[in-house]
Amino acid sequence: MLVLLPPSETKRPGGEGAPLDLGALALPALRSPREAVVDALVALSADEDEAARVLKLSAKRRHEVADNAALRTAATMPAVDRYTGVLFDALDAGTLDAAARSWLGEHVGIHSAPFGPVAALDPIPAYRLAAGTSLPGVPALRRVWAAAVTEALRAEAPAFVLDLRSEAYVALGPVPADVPTAYVRVVTAGESGAVRALNHFNKHAKGELVRALAQSRPDIEGLDDLVAWAGASGWTMRPGAPGEVNLVV
């Protein structure tokens, strides 16, 4: 199973790892678009005012221009530790034991805007780039990434993809149509049995779910296996619309 997560706008600064090595990231077929987007971000950062405008940075976030300028030279840390925010705080990867973190590295991808999907333990620097940003020097990010990511995922041939990404990042890399997948919607059930989608708890529940998966490390090869594991582990999952599964909280 491959679990796909969205990134977070907020990131932990610093790191102790060697500078970014695009050739060493997961899905090596994405090397070319990674080079193009990183080069464009570094070039944009030469003009702080223009970079702040393009990236829609507030005065308090202008320091993130310097993060982009240093993409190729800054220290790195594992992607799952780099991101903060509701989902990654709930996942709390830093407190997992070695076996659980190893499972994250083998089974979890985090879909970033500058690097595409990376493995959870792939070392990356701090950066600022959102899925919807129109970046000078390259086509729209959807054109840069969508087909390339789909083909890279097909080449990996995962038995099953559990897709926890936001729709903006799904658009940057749809799972191949011939790969079994389930897109997760976090919902709550009312007294009538009808369900409604959640917002804040959406991210929190996804983080807790991935943490539980890393701790138990089940053998999941399809939606039926996932639903069975969930039921035995105190989670409620129900098939939703075609290609989707509802996580009921």
pLDDT in tens, 20-41: 999 999 999 999 999 999 999 9
Kind and range of the H or E run holding 116: strand 116-119
Strands 244-248 and 181-189: parallel
Residues 10-17, mean pLDDT to the nearest whole number: 96
Provide the number of structural domains found in the chain: 1
pLDDT at 189: 74
Angle between helices 141-156 and 31-44 (to 10 degrees): 150
Higher pLDDT, 191 or 120: 120
State which amino acid sits at residue 52.
Answer: A
Query: What percentage of residues in the chain have a pLDDT greater than 70?
Result: 96
pLDDT at 188: 86
Domain membership of residue 99 as a residue range: 2-248
pLDDT at 133: 97
Residue 139 has pLDDT above 80, yes or no: yes
Given a contact cutoff of 8 angstroms between Cβ atoms, the answer to whether 152 and 116 are in contact is yes
pTM over 0.85: yes
pLDDT at 194: 58
Confidence of residue 199 (pLDDT cuts 50, 70, 90): low
CA angle 181, 104, 96 (to 5 degrees): 135
Both tokens assigned to 134: 């129109």
How do residues 73-108 score in pLDDT, each as one tens digit? Answer: 999 999 999 999 999 999 999 999 999 999 999 999
Phi–psi pair at 64, nearest 5 degrees: -70, -15
Residues 170-190, mean pLDDT to the nearest whole number: 92
Q: What is the 3-state secondary structure (H, E, C) of 5-37?
A: ECCCCCECCCCCECCCCHHHCCCHHHHHHHHHH
Given a contact cutoff of 8 angstroms between Cβ atoms, the answer to whether 208 and 221 are in contact is no
Q: How many other C-beta atoms are found inside a 10 Å radius of the C-beta of residue 101?
A: 19
Average pLDDT, the chain: 95
pLDDT at 58: 94
State which amino acid sits at residue 87.
Answer: L
Residue 216 has pLDDT above 60, yes or no: yes
pLDDT at 249: 87
pLDDT at 84: 97
Higher pLDDT, 240 or 111: 111
CA distances to 28, 102, 112, 210 from 199, in Å: 33, 29, 21, 17
pLDDT at 203: 94
pLDDT at 190: 62
